[in-house]
């Protein structure tokens, strides 16, 4: 059990599942509800994505601790850095800008076009790809090979 907890894969896969569930499922489905107005859907989205952002920072901290504990996963540090930059960009730039746009729409004002939504979506998909890669890479790096201790491996 302790070996599993020291493998970053579990953090990556849980974080992936949470983010994919919110970003790829719940958010698009919300806009198909016929009784939910656009301003209300956007307001709910703002609250949900603010909560998701906090959960993702907790996941990042746990991931950094677990990667550090492995002692073998140096190749994962660059990906941890990219995840940190993505979360910072979403927190400091994109979520506030998207929140301000939501405020305008709720007030009945249609805001000017912006790249914020496309940038957020691009970073979100990048984050998901990094998490899935890191999860599988962690399993390769840190799970013991079947039978490796009982027989030598021939070199070719």
**Predicted structure pTM score:** 0.87
Average pLDDT, stretch 44-49? Answer: 96
Cβ proximity of 22 and 56 under 8 Å: no
| 14 or 150, which is more confident | 14
Give, as one character, the DSSP assignment of residue 151: S
- The pLDDT value given to residue 100: 97
Closest-CA residue to 98 (of 51, 58, 28, 49): 49
Return the SS3 of 147: coil
Residue 37: both structure tokens together = 């107005």
- For the segment 55-82, what is each residue's pLDDT rounded down to a tens digit? 999 999 999 999 998 877 778 999 999 9
């Amino acid at each position: 059990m302790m070996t599993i907890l020291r493998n970053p894969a579990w953090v990556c896969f849980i974080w992936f599942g949470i983010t994919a569930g919110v970003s790829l499922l719940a958010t698009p489905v919300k806009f198909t509800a016929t009784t939910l107005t656009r301003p209300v859907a956007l307001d709910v989205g703002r609250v949900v994505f603010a909560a998701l952002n906090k959960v993702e920072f907790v996941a990042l901290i746990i991931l950094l601790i677990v990667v550090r504990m492995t002692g073998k996963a140096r190749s994962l540090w660059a990906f941890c850095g990219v995840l940190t930059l993505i979360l910072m960009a979403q927190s400091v730039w994109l979520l506030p800008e998207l929140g301000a746009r939501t405020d305008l729409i709720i007030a009945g004002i249609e805001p000017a076009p912006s790249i914020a939504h496309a940038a957020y979506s691009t970073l979100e998909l990048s984050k998901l790809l990094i998490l899935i890669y890191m999860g599988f890479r962690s399993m390769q790096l840190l799970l013991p090979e079947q039978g490796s201790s009982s027989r030598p491996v021939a070199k070719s």
